Amino acid sequence: MDIFNNLAQGIITILTVQNVLLLLAGVTLGMIIGVMPGLGPTAGIAILLPVTFGMDPTGAIIMLAAVYYGSMYGGTITSVLINTPGESATVASTFDGFPLARQGRAGPALVMAAIASFIAGTIGVILLSAFAPMVASIARTFGPPELFLIVVVGLLTLIMIIGKNRILGILSALIGFALATVGIDIGVGEQRYTFGSSELISGIDFVPVAIGLFGVGEILYSLWRGAHKEHLDFGKISIKGKGFWPTRSDFKESNGAMVRGSFLGFFTGLAPGAGATVASLMSYSLEKSISKKPERFGKGAMAGLAGPEAANNGASAGAMVPLLTLGIPGSAATAVLLAAFLMWGLQPGPLLMEQNPDFAWGLIASMYLGNVALLIINIFMIPTFANVARVPFRILAPIIIVICVLGTFAVHSSMVEVGIMLACGVLGFFMRRYGFSPAALVIALVLGPLAEESLRQTMIISGGNLGIFIERSASMWILAVMVALIALPFVSRRITRLAAMAVTEFGRRRRGTPVEPSPEAQDSLGSPGSPGSPDLLDLSGQKKDVNSPN
């Protein structure tokens, strides 16, 4: 009953004209940002962060959170219409969404995606309401050793789950930690790596780094791969059209996929580093493996669109659990949200729900209302948002860069931070170009001070004895998770190889001749190029860009 009472209090907290307007503005802006290829939730939140200065903290966070989960659906529009994911979490939506659009069923595909997003968002927020207090109560028993290990686990999950070139992922995280050391040494109180600059004494602010990496960097990368030369052309979409709404058979095919994707996405989002991209790809592989007609996937199966859409929206709710209860961002987008929390003096963690219950439950309650608003906006504004996708990238790119510069300067009126932002923009381009992970860098930058402080405290408590990490039961459990994360890719690869050999041997013995594994077996084993295969992901958890010149 406490959960329902807290939710009721949260709804009362946010039901002001200002908060409701900020919520509606957030979901609308999120949709528009998601429609713009090359941006996505992380860049959108980073660019809009300076706009929220001066606002009430609750209203500002509600707006930024609405941008986060609102952009999850916005990216679906371009995924379906032009086979271009608005952001990495909608990669799986292109597999069947675009074939549906080519069959003249763009309307039903977009409406079904909106419904799947609403169902997943609602289920996700209900689970968030139930799980967040439980995790917070456990986290209250954590001390500095456990907090340090959780930071390491978060980064390790991000690095180990992304497939190839994990060394580059580790290097990206180390760059983030290095940037986090600039400023005052909390141990001795002396300046370090400031190079005599008074503006660096307080450290490198998160805002210019995030805007540079995910705003300017993404724009430069999109220009490099030729987005400014693309001509987007798709048919007219109207809600008055005869084939705009899904059929009864579409719903029958997709009902199970939406529910499975919702739960899979939420529990995947709980793991720091996994995120919506991994959840959507896992959902697609699951739906294809259990379907009675797997041959339809990739050719316009509605379940192949509904499942991943539900998964990526469920994951956005799941990612809020470690953010609110542990202060650990599970993705680059939630890392930007964490920075926003800290700017307003709000420390996410075990005590947030006790010390700021109105804020915490107000944010959770806003996600309920936000999902209702998204459903209405998604369905009836689809033609309008589709027109946004028609705006040429060569026009959008310079406008976005100007907004990045003005937004960075508006924070502290510092040209040094503008320079840092532009330098990080160039860095972000080369990181994307050569397979580094901007997500790992930005999460390490945010978590760096927490990791350093908790490690110093741990060493003071133990007198420099590293054995403290294996003397505490909670630390032992976290260390076991770390070992499992490191071993998982190797064990998975070994099991896959043995399973493939078993399938081949079975066919040889049954027919007396060597046979190759069936397409269904190859799909279930994660064959190269299949949606469930790790080689679809790069270091940022995104699908490999098939349009890249390389």
Position 427 scores a pLDDT of 93
Distance CA 314, CA 309 (A): 9
Is there a single domain that holds both residue 527 and residue 452? no
Domain end position, chosen among 436, 471, 506 = 471
Distance CA 363, CA 522 (A): 43
Alpha helices in 83-165 (DSSP H): 93-102, 106-139, 144-160
Average pLDDT in the 479-508 region?
68
For residue range 325-338, what is the model confidence (pLDDT) as tens digits?
877 776 777 778 88
CB atoms within 10 A of CB 491: 10
Tally DSSP H helices, then E strands, for the chain. 24, 2
Instruction: Tell me, rounded to whole angstroms, the distance of Cα 469 from its chain centroid.
Output: 30
Backbone angles phi, psi at 370, to 5 degrees: -65, -35
Q: For residues 38 and 255, which has the higher predicted lDDT (pLDDT)?
A: 255
Checking if the pLDDT of 522 tops 50, the result is no
445 contacts 139 by C-beta, under 8 angstroms: no
Quick check: is 540 in a domain? no
> Quick one: CA dihedral 152, 158, 163, 165, positive or negative?
negative
494 is in which domain, residue-wise?
Answer: 474-534
Position 542 scores a pLDDT of 40
Quick check: is 539 in a domain? no
What ranges make up the beta strands (E) of 138-226?
183-184, 191-192
Tell me how many domains the chain contains. 2
Position 340 scores a pLDDT of 79
CA atoms within 13 A of residue 112's CA, in its CB half-sphere? 36
Quick check: is 547 in a domain? no
Position 393 scores a pLDDT of 73
At 299, the pLDDT band (50, 70, 90 cuts) reads confident
For residue range 438-452, what is the model confidence (pLDDT) as tens digits?
877 887 887 788 788
Domain end position, chosen among 471, 498, 515 = 471
Rg (CA), the chain: 23
Q: What angle do the packed helices 332-343 and 41-48 form, to 10 degrees?
A: 20
State both tokens at 403.
Answer: 């907004």
Is there a single domain that holds both residue 94 and residue 198? yes
Is there a single domain that holds both residue 408 and residue 487? no
Cβ burial, residue 104 (10 Å; 0-12/13-18/19+): exposed
Distance CA 413, CA 207 (A): 13
Is there a single domain that holds both residue 423 and residue 499? no
CB atoms within 10 A of CB 316: 33
Is there a single domain that holds both residue 198 and residue 219? yes
44 contacts 33 by C-beta, under 8 angstroms: yes
Is there a single domain that holds both residue 444 and residue 530? no
Taking the model in full, what pTM does it have?
A: 0.69
Q: What percent of the chain has pLDDT over 70?
A: 79
CB atoms within 10 A of CB 9: 14
Position 516 scores a pLDDT of 45
Checking if the pLDDT of 289 tops 80, the result is yes
Is there a single domain that holds both residue 377 and residue 506? no
Residue keyed to tokens 């199970």: 256
